[in-house]
Amino acid sequence: MTLLEKTVGEIVKEQAERHPNQEAYVYPEHGIRKTYKEFDEETDLLAKAFIGMGIKKGDNVAIWSDNKREWLLSQFATGKMGAVLVTVNTNYQAAELEYLLKQSEATTLILDESFKGTSYIDIIRSICPELIHSKQGVISSEKFPHLKKVILMSERGEEGMYNWSEFMAHAYGVSDAVLNEHLKGLHPDDVINIQYTSGTTGFPKGVMLTHNNVVNNGKQIGDIMKLTEQDRVCIPVPFFHCFGCVLGTMAAVTHGSAMIIIEQFNPETVLQAVQDEKCTALHGVPTMFIAELNHPNFKKYDTSSLRTGIMAGSTCPIEVMRRVINDMGASEITICYGQTETSPVFLQTRTDDPIEKKVATVGQPHPNVEVKIVDPVSEAEVKVGEPGELWTRGYHVMKGYYNNEEATNEVINGEGWLRTGDIAIEDAEGYFSITGRIRDMVIRGGENIYPREVEEFLYTHPAIADVQIVGVPDPKYGEELMAWIIPKEGVEIDEESVKEFCKGKISFHKIPRYIEFIDEYPMTASGKIMKFKLQEMSEGKI
């Protein structure tokens, strides 16, 4: 597969010429459906509004909402005029938004009114009180010196903010010639997107992704799924994450496929959309597929149009995979692995891989990327079948972390290799499995212990619903294991019974020295468990 040398805007223009009357996107909940010709025209108009408002190439524009139509159009409109879209997690609260706006130096914030009962308007006002006394477009805030414009995704009138119509009115003073100048002035290596990592180990970092990164990653993901202009991809995963805006929208647009968009995940809404729109592909994390399969009305819906899709985010239990293939009909479903820093996917199962590979591995490398597994200490490549840190190099590696050269240099070495921080094993057939995080690795008396291995074993205990293993300091062995266990409801379990369960089944040094029971884990806004918080809690217990 040859890499494309194209910008996001050029891709939209190409598809509008090739498939003008093909549907580009559908919002089933609102009865909105647009062709690629209309999609091109809409994103041209929005790009002109950005230009007319004085937003320049390279300006950082933050966007904060669920999968609204305005979000979709903004992704491709900024791709045509050169602003950098900074994606904001929908679950963010005041402190997190404040950090992101400061660190990203965003000049503009586009936001929805609210999300799941949280008023975004109240939050931006609480952290930027100057907004109420500001004229539109000239916010003056000591805390946010770069922030000048706030745009609301509705027609509501709010002090200091543009509503959507007022924003769009800026388009009409901008000619086609001016827009074309912007489009032609862009380069595939320009940064087009900043996405903030979830910060499981501290403050989030802004990952800078280029046209080259996201266009080619979307193209290769879709190629492996065998997408064409005949496919209809259901996207219920959030746009603010790479899953939505690369595996979802970019994979579809690079292939002229239709995007069937769900604003907020709801299992029955997804099933209805798959049936009514005859979707051929469905994206989701395993818990989404489980919610769809277990919905009481699942059998009422016809999902036989499904062929493929993507399951990512965590390992899929084999029973769930069987049901996705057999009951849903997605026999060519694929598993993807990657990180925001890798645009994001570089390992993927193929459509015809056996089910065992789809549940036990994250597939094989994409074309045009290099992958290797190294000893975390010596950095020498390990043999097939041995665990080590997964490294990758190629077009897909991010440009770096925004305004954070030190953190960039920690993960990308002088030869361009990106250290993923994940422990992986390659099997004899070239498939990779992820077995844990390098920073989670515990060294007890010189023995390397990978928490994921111990967790996987403890999951087999009939009374354990979930378990997380962390390392804690120990004067004799350097480190010991601590297990944080969420018990299943209505089942008796204690520390001794857990240790007894382990004896004779796993090595003595892998049996947790300390065991604590807990109702829920500390989580990031995007739903990842914060192991560093568990470690802090652990040190207070021993």
pLDDT tens for each residue of 200-251: 455 789 999 999 999 999 999 999 999 999 999 999 999 999 999 999 999 9
pLDDT class for 3, splitting at 50, 70, 90? Answer: very high
Q: Assign 477 a pLDDT band (cuts: 50, 70, 90).
A: confident
Q: Which residues of 259-274 are buried (b: 16+ CB within 10 A; e: fewer)?
A: bbbbbebbbebbbbbb
Contact 279, 328 (CB under 8 A): no
pLDDT tens digits, 97-130: 999 999 999 999 999 999 999 999 999 999 999 9
The Cα 349–Cα 345 span in angstroms is: 11
Last residue of a domain, one of 190, 206, 222: 206
Residue type, 505: K
Backbone dihedral region for residue 84 (phi beyond 0: left; psi -120 to 50: alpha; all else: beta): beta
Q: Is the peptide bond before 344 cis (omega within 30 degrees of 0)?
A: yes
The answer on pLDDT for 484 being more than 60 is yes
pLDDT category of residue 92 using cuts at 50, 70 and 90 = confident
Residue 314 predicted with pLDDT over 90: no
Degrees, nearest 5: CA angle 459-462-463: 90
DSSP summary character for residue 340: G
How many domains does the structure of the chain reveal? 2
* DSSP at 509: G
**What are the tens digits of pLDDT across the range 278-288?**
999 999 988 79
Answer whether residue 421 is part of any domain: no
| 3-state secondary structure string across 79-143 | HHHCCEEEECCCCCCHHHHHHHHHHHCCCEEEECCEECCEEHHHHHHHHCHHHHHCCCCCCCCCC
pLDDT tens-digit series, residues 41-53: 999 999 999 999 9
Number of helices followed by number of strands (H, E) in the chain: 18, 27
Residue 541: pLDDT band by 50, 70, 90 thresholds?
A: confident
Tell me the pLDDT band of 146, cut-offs 50, 70 and 90.
very high
The three state secondary structure string of 354-373 is: CHHHHHHCCCEECCCEEEEE
Mean pLDDT of the 389-415 span: 97
Helix (H, G, I), strand (E, B) or coil at 175: coil
In this prediction, residue 527 has a pLDDT band, given cuts at 50, 70 and 90, of low
What pLDDT is attached to residue 204? 84
Tokens read off for 228: 């064409």
From 206, 235, 259, give the residue that closes a domain: 206
285 within a domain of the structure (yes/no): no
User: Which CATH number do you get for residue 56?
Assistant: 3.40.50.12780
Structure tokens that stand for 254 in this block: 């690079």
> Does residue 259 lie within any of the structural domains?
no
Q: How far is CA 298 from CA 172, 270, 275, 303, in A?
A: 47, 11, 11, 9
Mean pLDDT score of the chain: 94
Query: With 0-12 CB in 10 A as exposed, 13-18 as middle and 19+ as buried, what is 107?
Result: buried
* Residue 409 maps to a domain: no
| Cα–Cα–Cα angle for 511, 513, 519, rounded to 5 degrees | 95
R_g over Cα of the chain: 24
Residue 22 lies inside a defined structural domain of this protein? no
Provide the pLDDT for residue 285.
Answer: 87
Instruction: Give the N- to C-terminal CA distance of the chain in Å, as an integer.
Output: 54
Q: Is the pLDDT of residue 143 over 90?
A: yes
Phi-psi region of 478 (alpha: psi -120 to 50; beta: other; left: phi over 0): left
The range of the structural domain enclosing residue 487 comes to 441-539
Instruction: Write out the DSSP string of 263-310.
Output: SS--HHHHHHHHHHTT-SEEEE-HHHHHHHHTSTTGGGS--TT--EEE
Residue 71 has pLDDT above 80, yes or no: yes
Last-in-domain residue among 152, 177, 206: 206
Q: Is there a domain that residue 340 lies in?
A: no
Indicate the pLDDT class of residue 317, thresholds 50, 70 and 90. Answer: confident
Q: Is the pTM of this model over 0.95?
A: no
The Cβ of residue 215 has, within 10 Å, a number of other Cβ atoms equal to: 27
Q: What CATH number is attached to the domain comprising 455?
A: 3.30.300.30
Residue 423, both tokens: 């422990």
| Residue 536 CB neighbours (<10 A) | 12
pLDDT band at 199; cut points 50, 70, 90: low
H or E segment and range at residue 502: helix 495-502
359 has pLDDT over 70? yes
| Residue 198 forms part of a structural domain | yes
Is 510 among the domain residues?
Answer: yes
Residues 312, 324: contact at Cβ < 8 Å? no
pLDDT score of 202: 59
381: pLDDT confidence band, cut at 50, 70 and 90?
very high
> Going edge to edge, which strands form the sheet with 281-284?
32-35, 23-27, 258-261, 232-235, 281-284, 308-311, 334-338, 345-348, 364-365
pLDDT at residue number 197: 86
In percent, how much of the chain has pLDDT > 70?
99
